[in-house]
Structure 1
Amino acid sequence: MNAQTAARQTSAPQTPSLPHAKPEQLGLSPVRLQRLSDAFKREVDKGTLPGATVLVARRGQIGWFDAIGKQSPLAAAPMAKDSIFRIFSMTKPIVSIGIMMLIEDGHFLLSDAVAKFIPEFANQKVGVEHNGELELVPLKRQMTVQDLLRHTSGITYDHTGNGLVQRLYQESRLRSRKITNAEHASFVASLPLMCQPGAEWNYSRSTDILGRIIEVVSGKSLSAFLAERILAPLQMAETAFHTAEANAGRLAEPFPTDPWTGDKVQLFNMLEKPVMESGGGGLVSTTMDYARFSQMLLNGGSLDGVRIVGRKTLELMASDHLGPEVKVDSPLMPPGHGFGLGFAVRTHAGIAPFPGSLGQFFWSGMAGTFFWIDPKEDLFAVFMMQGPGQRQYTRSLLRDLVYAAVE
């Protein structure tokens, strides 16, 4: 037994598998699912990604689960079904569920102002650009919890553009993993907003602020709340803000230089416990852990007899909350889609350049992880890789290949 195998055995995951069935029993074509795996093997052979896992489930059972390529480009270990990934923004749906659980507990309303929980947000201004200068104007209305969930808060990200407000983000300490969630929220509140709350969809640090609200309301750290209310009940034993040293042999890693963009790739160390527990992008997880979360969503909020969130609450989350009055101008929002409370939502059968179903909901992570829930087809898919530059291409490729296999 080599050291790699020993490491996997001594730190074997405790996450129970979802049930398996033959693809044809679930209305999935085994021939076409094999083509899916073959397509990603070709991507590995072309050198566009080190490796990936893909899991497709339908009617409550897994019909396809494959690990392809290498776990890390700098080591010999093959990608494994229990490899550990940085899921980045796939943290957001988990934290959004946490917020809705507190709403279901009666602690606050979606329409409550964020300043009710974090007073510094009461005095924020909106930054309006005029001839290269930033004019600060007062809020027309307060930012709400609903704004945070649907990314209409006016908060932004430092990496989604280079406007004057985003440059202030870039110059701040917001990216540090050594500040607390409370300090992070104060920094965000001290910076101007991109726009008036409710006016535009801007992908942002909003879910990090939701993570702080969870702490304020629950009196617990974000990690403790998520573990107690979501991760432990769903038996997601491998999902946390870092992983143990014993799991060093299971970490999926990207190419040091992105093969498509040529950019240097530097992702956080999964073995290092951060001070900042980022509700917007800090979790590490496995394919099966996220499959358990996905099956809970597909089931309408429960798994194995454990209800996490109410069916009608989840229905609200998976509905479009933007409407025609909210300006959307972002490559992150595909045509024919809107955004709900923590997920993108398909609003049109056509328009988007890939297949799907009305009402399906999904999100993804910066390093290439991706999942979607399709209630109409009683199907979900979870895809894991660590390859930032290829993520847009692989998401569409995966959708094409999975839906081609649906009978």
Structure 2
Amino acid sequence: MCNKNLLLCLLLNLTVGYAAIAQHLSTTITAGTPEVAGFSAQRLTKLDNAMKEWTDKGWMNGAVALVIRNGKIAYYNGVGYNDIEAKQKMPKEGIFRIASQTKAITSVAIMMLFDDGKLLLNDRVSKFIPSFSKPTVLDKFEAKDTTYTTLPAAREITIKDLLTHTSGLGYAQIGSPEANAIYAKSNITAGLGVKEGTLLEAMTRLGKLPLMHQPGQRWTYGLNTDLLGCIVEVVSGMSLDQFFKTRIFQPMGMNSTYFSVPESKSDQLVNMYTEDQQGKLIKGGNKIFGTPTASNYPLIGSTYYSGGGGLSAPIMDYAIFLQMLLNGGEYNGVRLLGRNTVRMMTMNQIGDLSLGDDKFGLGFGIVTEKGSANTPAQAGTFSWGGAFSTSYWVDPKEKMVLLFYRQLQSSSHGNVTERFRALTYQALN
């Protein structure tokens, strides 16, 4: 057949080849219009109007929103003020404290080492940090003097336990009363604004403390990802800061993501706001997670790199990271992860353990079929957010990345995030 229709076959092969190239190029984030990205520009004006309304009502000082579909920017806008009193507009390119959005990047770093053959998911943590051998579990806790008793753990915790938050580790400062008290006595923190000591020193102390429950027994949000960051340092021989910079940020073009924002970019750090008792927005605040750590912690410089919450980044940098995951581990010709590694990270990895209607993968919350009944996000959407009001979602079925960034330490208007997501999805053609 091809002998008789050689020209036709050549044309067909060229067409297929060009289509493959075009498909590859489309996975790089580029400027677009709502229509090109599959949205109604008219219906997206609802999002503009709503964000302005939220600002006018004092629900937020300002926000930046970014919506990408099929690699095309459908919506990218800054609304409101970075400084309300000075009427300084919220900059789209501003650097935000992304807090727990750091966890996804640390999880990717661990899975890069998995792809390198340097570790396995079922490896015991004690293989890398010996103090985690012979673990114990909290039995009885006496609140009046913070004394406690322990029982032997059924088994040691593994890297997979950490990635899925099923290890039994709690959170310091923002966890349960028991975890807060026990960790405080050993100078274990949530990781922000730490000036003295190293991650390995702190995690070695953590290994000697009791777990809050038996490994694998339930899902508990805790210091799991800070511990994963320490394992990245031990296995790679690099600081977490250097690993991120050389293995992830520079290859991806994430040129303004930092643990410590340099002085040359300090003016790009977005102001933090909080609410007073009357609900009025106040700039600044000298406490983070209830401790006297100023909100300028990204500027102080530190060698303690919290893999669970320490990064600051502009919204576009993080969009590149998420687009890489949506692409199956590759961005702009650079592959960070194998596509099946991304598949593993974005599927249910906690089995029947309860996490509401949804599940958890290796570093991400996962929308289930049941969970999708309560949200416009399709089943399979993976997401998380940060304590200072930053959120993201990746919807593989819609080939869509959504990010909504504010910088609020606390807010009584938490439903703004869900409103943003509903207003985005309703504009899809």
The alignment's TM-score, normalised by the length of structure 1, stands at 0.89
Q: 1:359 aligns with which of 380, 388, 391?
A: 380
How far off is 1:364 after superposition? Answer: 0.3
Match of 2:187 in 1: 173
The separation in 2 between residues aligned to 1:101 and 1:270, in whole angstroms, is 26
SS at match of 1:389: coil
Q: 2:156 aligns with which of 131, 137, 142?
A: 142
Pairing 1:321–2:349 present: yes
Q: 1:378 aligns with which of 399, 416, 422?
A: 399
Pairing 1:305–2:316 present: no
Match of 2:366 in 1: 345
Q: 1:245 aligns with which of 243, 259, 263?
A: 263
Deviations 1:277-303 (A, max 9, x none): 000000010011011111111111111
Letter in 2 for 1:59: N
How far off is 1:274 after superposition? Answer: 1.7
Pairing 1:182–2:200 present: yes
The separation in 2 between residues aligned to 1:248 and 1:301, in whole angstroms, is 31
The separation in 1 between residues aligned to 2:406 and 2:38, in whole angstroms, is 26
The separation in 1 between residues aligned to 2:269 and 2:373, in whole angstroms, is 34
Q: 1:257 to 1:235 in 2, by over 3 A?
A: same
Matches within 5 A, 1:286-297: 286-297=314-325
Match of 1:405 in 2: 427
How far off is 1:273 after superposition? Answer: 1.2
SS at match of 1:196: coil
Pairing 1:67–2:78 present: yes
The separation in 2 between residues aligned to 1:164 and 1:279, in whole angstroms, is 23
Which region of structure 1 is more displaced relative to structure 2, 285-294 or 179-188? Answer: 179-188
SS at match of 2:133: helix
Which region of structure 1 is more displaced relative to structure 2, 266-275 or 298-307? Answer: 266-275
Asked if 1 retains the 8 angstrom alpha-carbon contact of 2:358 and 2:371, the reply is no
Q: 1:128 to 1:354 in 2, by over 3 A?
A: same
Match of 1:220 in 2: 238
How far off is 1:44 after superposition? Answer: 1.2
The separation in 2 between residues aligned to 1:296 and 1:75, in whole angstroms, is 38
How far off is 1:341 after superposition? Answer: 0.3
Asked if 2 retains the 8 angstrom alpha-carbon contact of 1:359 and 1:375, the reply is yes
Deviations 1:150-180 (A, max 9, x none): 1001111134444323321244422261221
Matches within 5 A, 1:2-401: 18-73=29-84, 75-129=86-140, 134-175=148-189, 177-178=194-195, 179-258=197-276, 260=279, 266=288, 267-324=295-352, 326=353, 328=354, 333=355, 335-350=356-371, 353-390=374-411, 392-401=414-423
The separation in 1 between residues aligned to 2:280 and 2:133, in whole angstroms, is 41
The separation in 2 between residues aligned to 1:74 and 1:242, in whole angstroms, is 27
The separation in 1 between residues aligned to 2:229 and 2:279, in whole angstroms, is 33
SS at match of 2:393: strand
The separation in 2 between residues aligned to 1:188 and 1:352, in whole angstroms, is 39
Asked if 2 retains the 8 angstrom alpha-carbon contact of 1:23 and 1:30, the reply is yes
**Looking at CA atoms only, which structure, 1 or 2, has the larger radius of gyration?**
2
How far off is 1:33 after superposition? Answer: 1.7
Q: Percent identity among equivalent residues?
A: 39
Q: 1:103 to 1:274 in 2, by over 3 A?
A: same
Asked if 2 retains the 8 angstrom alpha-carbon contact of 1:151 and 1:204, the reply is yes
The separation in 1 between residues aligned to 2:29 and 2:209, in whole angstroms, is 44
SS at match of 1:279: coil
SS at match of 1:381: strand
The separation in 2 between residues aligned to 1:74 and 1:124, in whole angstroms, is 52
The separation in 2 between residues aligned to 1:371 and 1:289, in whole angstroms, is 12
How far off is 1:399 after superposition? Answer: 1.5
Q: Which runs of 5+ in 2 are unaligned?
A: 1-27, 289-294
Q: How many corresponding residue pairs?
A: 384
The separation in 2 between residues aligned to 1:202 and 1:381, in whole angstroms, is 26
The separation in 2 between residues aligned to 1:74 and 1:279, in whole angstroms, is 34
Q: 1:350 to 1:114 in 2, by over 3 A?
A: closer
The alignment's TM-score, normalised by the length of structure 2, stands at 0.85
Letter in 2 for 1:148: L
SS at match of 1:208: helix
The separation in 2 between residues aligned to 1:272 and 1:386, in whole angstroms, is 18
Q: 1:170 to 1:50 in 2, by over 3 A?
A: farther
Letter in 2 for 1:190: K
How far off is 1:190 after superposition? Answer: 2.4
SS at match of 1:200: coil
CA RMSD of aligned residues (A): 2.1
Letter in 2 for 1:396: E
Letter in 2 for 1:255: Y
The separation in 2 between residues aligned to 1:397 and 1:186, in whole angstroms, is 42
Asked if 2 retains the 8 angstrom alpha-carbon contact of 1:295 and 1:303, the reply is yes
SS at match of 1:312: helix
Deviations 1:4-29 (A, max 9, x none): xxxxxxxxxxxxx9311110122112
The separation in 1 between residues aligned to 2:209 and 2:280, in whole angstroms, is 31
SS at match of 1:110: coil
The separation in 1 between residues aligned to 2:186 and 2:80, in whole angstroms, is 38
Letter in 2 for 1:177: V
